[in-house]
Chain A
């Protein structure tokens, strides 16, 4: 077949050109819509954030002011006085609730035959409870045995014989100091957890 175009301005493919132009127009419309939506969304977000910031700033300022008012009510001297008084009251209550019966039960359970208990003085300090014991022993070995037995209970620790003085009677007077931890017995003290005085308990066995 033979084709011939005799026109002075040759035809071109208009359909393809129209297609390209249509695609270009669609792209431009999509981009325009995107831009408009972004402006609206971002503006709205900015407005919301600004309102939130203003509210948070006001709330923080209010809280700081209320905290300042509360702190102004608290005079340091008053607070310290209450703290000192509370500490003092707690120490008194701790000393009041100290169980001499439990302590004596432990001492009786560990006192060897050659040792007699002569003095007991517990003291509450910041680390717990110290206890001072005065004993009369036949021999230093008996007192040493007493100290070992005390520590073995788990209730006494850091026991130290502070002074030893021989008596005219031949006995040795010893001052023992150490720490006392009520309620930490490896074996319950005779008399149980809420001990009563033991009936007929041995006093200083000599």
Chain B
């Protein structure tokens, strides 16, 4: 009985308060709650977009590294062909024919036979000049010659070493040596 009297007496105040409460509830259900869902979705989408940026950046870095690596490798190969290897067949021939003969002579070895041939490989940009040398001398001279060849600045690779005894009762050994040098085939083909 008293409550009904209170509600009746205080209606001018209670009614606006009630309307405000309903309006707040409506604002929460129709405004705040859906907005929260949309923000959560946008956060997930932003996370995905950031991941996509990371993946794309990694792909770009990989592509850039590959391009740079290729450029660097090409540059180093060119330097190798230009400054380390003989510049062409003529230089390679001079190197093996005269240079090695001089080293052998300096080491006290006697050259008895030499053969040379050039090999071109279709799958390679390099040509190979092979040389076979038959030398005679003492073992110490052989070791000295091998040391001189491997410490020389010229690009000569010793491929085979065959040692045989010379004549009986002699200290001389016969050294058959396989040697190779390489040059850029494009310049002589």
Chain A residues within an 8 Å CB radius of B45: 49, 53
**CB contact list, B66-91 vs A, under 8 A:** 66-67, 70, 73-74, 76-77, 80
Query: Would B66 and A74 count as touching, CB distance under 8 A?
Result: yes
Q: Number of contact residues on A: which range applies? A: 35 or more
Q: When the two chains form their complex, are residues B63 and A201 in contact, meaning their CB atoms are under 8 A apart?
A: no
The tally of residues in B whose CB lies under 8 Å from a CB in A reads 69
Q: Give the residue name and chain of the A residue nearest to B145 (CB).
A: A197
Min C-beta distance of B100 to chain A, whole Å: 14
From B163, which residue of chain A is reached at the shortest CB distance? A118
Contact A60 B52 (CB under 8 A): yes
Instruction: Say which residue of A25, A35, A71, A104 sits within 8 Å of B31 (CB atoms).
Output: A35
Tell me the chain A residues, 68-107 only, with Cβ under 8 Å from chain B: 70-71, 73-74, 78-79, 82-86, 88-89, 92-93, 95-96, 98-101, 104
> Nearest residue in B to A88 (C-beta to C-beta)?
B124
A42 and B53 in contact, given A32-B20, A96-B155, A203-B173 (Cβ under 8 angstroms): no
> With the chains together, A31 CA to B21 CA distance in Å?
8
Interface: A204 (CB within 8 A)? yes
B73 near A101 (CB under 8 angstroms)?
no
Distance from A205 Cβ to chain B, minimum over Cβ atoms (Å): 11
Q: Whole-angstrom distance between the alpha carbons of A66 and B58 in the complex?
A: 12
Q: Is the CB of B17 within 8 A of A28?
A: yes
Q: Are B38 and A46 in contact (CB under 8 A)?
A: yes
B10 touching A17, Cβ below 8 Å: yes
Binary interface profile of B, 109-141, with partner A (CB < 8 Å = 1, else 0)? 000000000000001111000000000000110
Given contacts A21-B10, A57-B52, A100-B158, contact A45 B57 (CB under 8 A): no
CA–CA, A49 and B43, complex, Å: 7
From residue 99 to 120 of chain A, which have CB atoms closer than 8 A to chain B? 99-101, 104, 116-120
A39 touches B49 (CB 8 A): no
Q: Which of A168-206 contact B (CB under 8 A)?
A: 196-201, 203-204
A17-B6, A45-B39 known; A89+B80 contact, CB < 8 A: yes
**Dominant SS among interface residues on chain B:** helix
- Establish whether residues B150 and A101, one from each chain, have CB atoms under 8 Å apart when the complex forms: yes
Once the chains are docked, how many angstroms separate the CA of A53 from the CA of B150? 63
On chain A, the residues within 8 Å of B66 by CB distance are: 70-71, 74, 79
Is A162 an interface residue when CB atoms closer than 8 A count as contact?
Answer: no
B24 at the interface (CB under 8 A from A): yes
Determine whether the beta carbon of A43 is less than 8 Å from that of B35: yes
Q: Mark B16-53, 1 if CB is under 8 A from A, else 0.
A: 01001100100110011001101100110110011011
> Within the complex, what minimum Cβ distance (angstroms) separates B74 from chain A?
6
* Pair B144/A197 contact, Cβ less than 8 Å: yes
Q: How far is the CB of B149 from chain A (nearest CB, A)?
A: 8
Which A residues touch B160, using CB under 8 A? 119-121
Q: Are B70 and A64 in contact (CB under 8 A)?
A: no
Contact of B32 among A42, A104, A116, A134 (CB under 8 A): A42
Q: Is the CB of A49 within 8 A of B42?
A: yes
Q: Does A38 contact B (CB under 8 A)?
A: yes
Judged by a CB distance under 8 angstroms, whether A148 is at the interface is no
Are A12 and B6 touching (Cβ within 8 A)?
yes
Q: Name which residue of chain A comes closest to B61, CB basis.
A: A67
**What are 9 contact pairs spanning A and B, CB under 8 A?**
A12-B2, A38-B32, A46-B38, A88-B126, A96-B156, A116-B165, A119-B161, A120-B160, A197-B140
